[in-house]
Chains A and B, each alone.
Chain A
Amino acid sequence: AAGVIQSPRHLIKEKRETATLKCYPIPRHDTVYWYQQGPGQDPQFLISFYEKMQSDKGSIPDRFSAQQFSDYHSELNMSSLELGDSALYFCASRFQGKVGGTANTGELFFGEGSRLTVL
């Protein structure tokens, strides 16, 4: 079965550079989530999209932006990178269906993550 695909798997950048991470959700999933996980930390919610519209925002820095495209893939853009941005970035997807419906309470399917190292 198709899973969530993230690219690139590994990325090395210098401080103040820009990075873009991509996420391809499971087919027919309409909701995408981005999480950041620092070393030894729990996943921190950054932002989510439902049907190509931002649905929720977490602890995402102003230097970061994200969007979901018409084919439901999502991109996380990170600018003016700092050393503290070094982390695993996970994308997750699920089928939410109707907003507020019971379908949006189910499990998330995670990608393998993109490891960003900022030097």
Chain B
Amino acid sequence: SQQGEEDPQALSIQEGENATMNCSYKTSINNLQWYRQNSGRGLVHLILIRSNEREKHSGRLRVTLDTSKKSSSLLITASRAADTASYFCATVRSNDYKLSFGAGTTVTVRA
């Protein structure tokens, strides 16, 4: 399966702290994307990093990609209660462009 494996499955932090979650995958990718899902809602695209990129920033989000280790990390800095959600990584395979989701990390930010 191409699906990414996410680590940790759940994370609980205090408001203002940083949250880091990791995603590992198995095959060659064109890009890797991170999505956020509030409970029972649709997934919202956060950031996309291409296979030739190593790091990308968007506001309080920082994504890294290590293609040699087939892994990516998402860092949320200065977390807020509104960041409470599940975060999914999704990989787009380089041979057929198929997008597959990983299992997700549930982040709880305590006020």
Task: Give residues in A with beta carbon < 8 Å to B.
Answer: 4, 33, 35, 41-45, 56, 88, 90, 92, 100, 104-113, 115
Contacts and interface: CB of A to CB of B under 8 A. Distances in A.
Contacts of A107: 33, 45, 48
A33 B90 CA distance: 14
Contacts, number: 49
Nearest to A6: B42
| Size bracket, chain B contacts | 20 to 34
Interface of B: 3, 30-31, 33, 35, 40-45, 48, 88, 90, 92, 97-104
Contacts of B3: 42
Given A108-B45, A109-B45, A42 B101 contact: yes
Nearest to A109: B45
A59 to B, nearest CB: 11
Q: List the 3 shortest-distance A-B pairs measured between CB atoms, nearest first.
A: A110-B42, A107-B45, A110-B43
Q: How would you classify the secondary structure of chain B's contact residues: helix, strand, loop or mixed?
A: strand
Given A4-B42, A35-B101, A42-B88, 16 more contacts: A42-B102, A43-B88, A43-B101, A45-B101, A90-B42, A92-B43, A104-B97, A105-B31, A105-B92, A106-B48, A107-B48, A108-B43, A110-B35, A111-B42, A113-B41, A115-B40
Nearest to B43: A110
Contacts of B101: 35, 42-45
B102 A112 contact: no
Nearest to A111: B42
Contact of A110 (B44, B92, B98, B103): B44
Contacts of B44: 110
Contacts of B33: 107
